[in-house]
Amino acid sequence: MHIEQEYFFWKLIHDLVVVQEFDVLHMNTKDQEVWLEKEYNWKNHVVRLKHTQINWRNELKRDVQITYQQLKQNRQLFRGGKVVLHSLYVSEFPPVDEWEDIKEDLKSERFDSYIYYLDDEKKEKERSRFYSFFDIEDAILDHNISEFEMESILPYLKQQIVLKHKERKKEAQNAFQFGKPIMTYVLLALNLLAFAYVEWQGSSTSVLTLIEFGAKYNPGIIEGEWWRIVTSMFLHIGLLHLFMNMLALFYLGNAVERIYGSFRFTGIYFLAGIFGGISSFMLNPHVAAGASGAIFGLFGALLYFGVRNRRLFFRTMGWNLLFVIALNIAFGVLVPQVDNGAHMGGLVGGFIASVIFSLPKKKSIAVQSAASIAYIVILAIMISLGLQNVFNGEQTLSQVQETQELNQNGKYEEVISITSQALKEPGSYEAALRFNRSYAYIQVGEKEKAKEDLEVVVEKEPDLAEAYYNLAILHQQNGNKAKAADFAKTAAELNPDNEDFRKLADKLSQ
């Protein structure tokens, strides 16, 4: 009778592994013990099968407790979902005393547990109960054959189980080795060359230089310069910005390109970068540049890989990746200079783009088509909202940044032209625009116009000490000492640490 139990045991395992797609975690042919795993309903189901004869309830309870302990010790293998344990015992006879309430004695454990005792009398009923749990078709296990036939089939069954296990293990390894990181290095080189060229021509921290070489500049985009969405992906603001992005691109690019292959990787990178750039246009009025949107798209690509390969994802990069994404999001929230629009847009765009291109050898025309439509529709909505200034009504902030630097470079006529145009719809930056224009007016000799601008500035920004100081200078030059003294006094009160303000106030008060 022992051979019948052994045959049933290995025939059952063969069906679960080869037909029902359970994964082998551990296999001990000598002790007749096998551990399997299957993801079902977003839970990790661990199945321990044991061929043994258990005579007493306490003996069974001890064995179940040992199983619990082994599962706890290897809990790190099952991160990413709730663990459910199924213990199957294949035996000729059941324990002598009642054992069905064992689970009640162990209900303090932190995971759900099910026990199946497949003795000769109940083996079909218990096997059906186990199969129905997973909603899989109940297999017909032929055990009405001779013992000789059973014995001859056993090696074949074990061999097929081992081969299937090796095949799945190889598939998992191949999931990270589909492509070679060729485009990653091409993109790294392009970014480095672009940075070197910008530094050669000017300065990567100069707003004017960034705008000239294709940074995301909302007023320009509104006028039709949509190419800035792509060119801004290859510009960086300073060496630290470049270093951080290239470091991320090196590691993420290597991982994503190996998983997806060069063609899919390139498509995901650019679609994510464009999505992030449009998101930034919709949400962020600042002049912006950098590969961050595309790089966050690579995060999105790895998340999609995790959705399609959840168990493998959480056993490899899963929790570390989620931690890095959360850390970057938190950093973006805490640091105001970070372009969160590009980051979040890139993350979402990268995920959608990954669905569009799909994983190698896992095509789904319907899903990929739906994702393509979703990408286009969302992109169109973001463009429309950006053009209507729904979330980025402070577009003139870009002109404030631009004209500040133009003043520093002595290009006063350009400042006057740009600010005069921007003041038609100034938003909340009228004071800043007028202050920049007033400085330019002073430099070109238009002092009355400068005075008019500064009077509006102090009305709208009563705490701007520099505006009062400039008004004091202008009134002093016009011979109006009383007004000049009042403005100088206010400037000194608002900024008592400024030596120039204090000196002028003291001089005019004498």
Average pLDDT, the chain: 84
Say yes or no to pLDDT of 158 above 60: yes
Task: Indicate which residues carry an active-site annotation.
Answer: 292, 343
Confidence of residue 504 (pLDDT cuts 50, 70, 90): confident
Kindly state the tokens that stand for 19.
Answer: 């037909």
Say yes or no to pLDDT of 190 above 90: yes
Given a contact cutoff of 8 angstroms between Cβ atoms, the answer to whether 473 and 450 are in contact is no
Confidence of residue 20 (pLDDT cuts 50, 70, 90): confident
Lay out the sheet containing 33-40: strands in order across.
Answer: 23-28, 33-40, 43-51, 82-90, 112-118
Confidence of residue 197 (pLDDT cuts 50, 70, 90): very high
281-295 pLDDT, tens per residue? Answer: 998 888 899 999 999
The confidence score (pLDDT) of residue 104 equals 62
Q: How far apart are CA 227 and CA 220, in angstroms?
A: 10
The confidence score (pLDDT) of residue 55 equals 78
Tell me the whole-structure pTM to 2 decimals: 0.74
Going by the DSSP 8-state scheme, the letter that residue 139 receives in this structure is P
Q: Which CATH architecture has domain 405-509?
A: Alpha Horseshoe (1.25)
Given a contact cutoff of 8 angstroms between Cβ atoms, the answer to whether 157 and 235 are in contact is no
Q: How far apart are CA 96 and CA 57, in angstroms?
A: 7
Residues listed for the chain: 510
Which residue's entry shows tokens 């959360």?
326
Confidence of residue 182 (pLDDT cuts 50, 70, 90): very high
Most confident of 87-96, 208-217, 401-410: 208-217
Those residues whose C-beta lies under 8 Å from the C-beta of residue 408, and which sit 6 or more positions away, are none
Those residues whose C-beta lies under 8 Å from the C-beta of residue 198, and which sit 6 or more positions away, are 204, 209, 210, 213, 235
**CA 275, 185, 247, 355 torsion: positive or negative?**
positive
Mapping DSSP onto H, E and C, the string for 167-214 reads HHHHHHHHCCCCCCCHHHHHHHHHHHHHHHHHHHHCCCCCHHHHHHCC
CA distances from 131 to 12, 26, 128 (A): 11, 21, 5
The confidence score (pLDDT) of residue 26 equals 85
Which residue's entry shows tokens 């870009």?
398
421-439 pLDDT, tens per residue? Answer: 888 877 778 888 888 898 8
Say yes or no to pLDDT of 1 above 60: no
Region label for 88, one of left (φ > 0), alpha (ψ between -120 and 50) or beta (otherwise): beta
Q: How many CA atoms lie within 13 A of 386 on its CB side?
A: 30
Domain ranges for the chain, please list them.
2-174, 182-387, 405-509
Say yes or no to pLDDT of 335 above 60: no
Confidence of residue 510 (pLDDT cuts 50, 70, 90): low
Say yes or no to pLDDT of 137 above 80: no
289 SS3 class = coil
Those residues whose C-beta lies under 8 Å from the C-beta of residue 323, and which sit 6 or more positions away, are none
What is the pairing mode between strands 43-51 and 82-90?
parallel
Say yes or no to pLDDT of 181 above 70: yes
Q: How far apart are CA 7 and CA 149, in angstroms?
A: 10
The confidence score (pLDDT) of residue 380 equals 95
Query: What string of DSSP letters covers 457-487?
Result: HHHH-TT-HHHHHHHHHHHHHTT-HHHHHHH
Given a contact cutoff of 8 angstroms between Cβ atoms, the answer to whether 45 and 64 are in contact is no
29-79 pLDDT, tens per residue? Answer: 888 889 888 888 878 888 888 888 877 877 777 877 778 777 777 766 665
CATH number for the segment(s) 182-387: 1.20.1540.10
454-500 pLDDT, tens per residue? Answer: 888 888 888 888 888 888 888 888 878 888 788 878 888 888 888 88
37 SS3 class = strand
Q: How far apart are CA 27 and CA 35, in angstroms?
A: 6
Give percent of the chain with pLDDT exceeding 70: 90
The confidence score (pLDDT) of residue 2 equals 76
CB atoms within 10 A of CB 252: 22
Q: How far apart are CA 195 and CA 237, in angstroms?
A: 9
State the Rg of the chain over Cα.
35
240-276 pLDDT, tens per residue? Answer: 889 989 988 998 999 899 999 999 999 999 999 999 9
The confidence score (pLDDT) of residue 321 equals 73
Degrees, nearest 5: CA angle 291-292-296: 120
Confidence of residue 388 (pLDDT cuts 50, 70, 90): confident
Given a contact cutoff of 8 angstroms between Cβ atoms, the answer to whether 25 and 37 are in contact is yes
Say yes or no to pLDDT of 451 above 60: yes
- DSSP H/E element including 90: strand 82-90
Given a contact cutoff of 8 angstroms between Cβ atoms, the answer to whether 118 and 78 are in contact is no
Say yes or no to pLDDT of 440 above 80: yes
Q: How many CA atoms lie within 13 A of 236 on its CB side?
A: 20
Residue 270: is it exposed, middle or buried by C-beta count within 10 angstroms (0-12/13-18/19+)? middle
Given a contact cutoff of 8 angstroms between Cβ atoms, the answer to whether 296 and 272 are in contact is yes
The confidence score (pLDDT) of residue 108 equals 52
Residue 68: is it exposed, middle or buried by C-beta count within 10 angstroms (0-12/13-18/19+)? middle
- DSSP H/E element including 24: strand 23-28
